[in-house]
Amino acid sequence: MNKERYHNKKVFVTKIFTFDSAHRLDDYIGKCANLHGHTYKLEVEVKGRTDHRGIVIDFTDLKKIVNEQIIAKYDHQFLNDHMPFNTTAENMVVFFFEIIDTYLNKLDDAQNITLQRCRLWETPTCYAEITREEFDRESE
């Protein structure tokens, strides 16, 4: 078996997180203008080359970033009190992408890892998503 065959391959890695929060939408006519809550599911996908062990990113590193920078701050919170924008799934997923991207770039192996996509599920059938391509395009 040629172990080298599995080194230095580009691989996508995804970790999923959940948190519960309440919010209400501003400038909105409908039920969501009222206080309500969700169990959010946040999917975080990175891409990188496998190292000599076959690892792109240690799941523990990704978990630490998301838990410290997102879950610890927004779980069981009223989001409108903590976010400087209307708390739509669309705004939140861009905000989370920006946070995760900033902290991923501080990792020792940052040159090997790129945040590719964040998907924020607001309900089991509804999500908002932003990709690296769209995030970079909007930043230009």
Numbered residues of the known binding site for Zn(2+): 23, 36, 38
Residue 32 is a catalytic residue: yes
Name every residue whose Cβ is closer than 8 Å to that of residue 45 and which is 6 or more positions away in sequence.
12, 13, 14, 115, 116, 117, 118, 119
Mark the binding-site residues, compressed into ranges.
Answer: 23, 36, 38
Catalytic: 82?
Answer: no
76 labelled catalytic:
yes
Give the DSSP per-residue string, 78-103: BGGGT-SS---HHHHHHHHHHHHHHH
Active-site option among 7, 52, 68, 76: 76
Cα–Cα distance measured from residue 48 to residue 42, given in angstroms and rounded to the nearest whole number: 20
Catalytic residue among 32, 90, 98, 129: 32
Any idea which residues carry the catalytic annotation? 32, 76, 122
